[in-house]
Amino acid sequence: MPTLIIARHAKAEAPAPGLQDMDRTLALIGRKASTKLGEEIAAAGLKPALALVSPATRTQQTWKLMSSSLPDCESRSVDGLYETDVEGLVEIVNAIEGVDTAILVGHEPTSSAAAAFFAGVGSDTTALKRVAHGLPTGTAAVLEFDGSWADLGSRQARMTVVLSGRDV
């Protein structure tokens, strides 16, 4: 059964004059949360084979720290994940091929909006409530679905859980 994990980058440094948003790095707590989120995903028995990661520094750092717990996962930087909407994220997901489990590491508000877009009948109520007001930094929504990546659309997945690395 295909599984999509939608993760939001961990806590980043605050914006600062002269610092491009794309170049913001993780805060110390964000580094710890990234490592913990990778551990939580692995502990849940999830084994992503493909990671699609926004090119922003904070998402790249989040993935690098997460990946220490998720071996054998190919990663690709996807420019389209930096500033996109749900429709753009759906296009990226629909292009996935040849893997059972994939993880996207991106940004708000698109991460939570996409998780809610995909979640349909059979979704866990507690998980849905956790993303209803936005996916917090250092967390990931897990969605399972029947069928192919190319056909995944609105309300066609089951959100099973939201995992967090924030309890560090």
User: Residue 110: which pLDDT band, with cuts at 50, 70 and 90?
Assistant: very high
- In this prediction the pTM is 0.97
pLDDT tens sequence across 5-54: 999 999 999 999 999 999 999 999 999 999 999 999 999 999 999 999 99
Q: In the predicted model, what is the mean pLDDT of residues 60-71?
A: 97
What is the CATH classification number for the domain harbouring 120? 3.40.50.1240
Gap between the Cα atoms of 106 and 117, Å rounded: 16
Q: Is the pLDDT of residue 167 over 80?
A: no
Residue 166's pLDDT is 87
pLDDT tens sequence across 112-164: 999 999 999 999 999 999 999 999 999 999 999 999 999 999 999 999 999 99
Domain that holds residue 48: 3-13+20-164
pLDDT tens sequence across 71-106: 999 999 999 999 999 999 999 999 999 999 999 999
Number of domains in the chain: 1
Q: Which helix (H) or strand (E) holds 125?
A: helix 125-132
Contacts of 128 (CB under 8 A, 6+ apart): 116, 119, 159
Q: Do 135 and 115 touch, CB atoms closer than 8 A?
A: yes
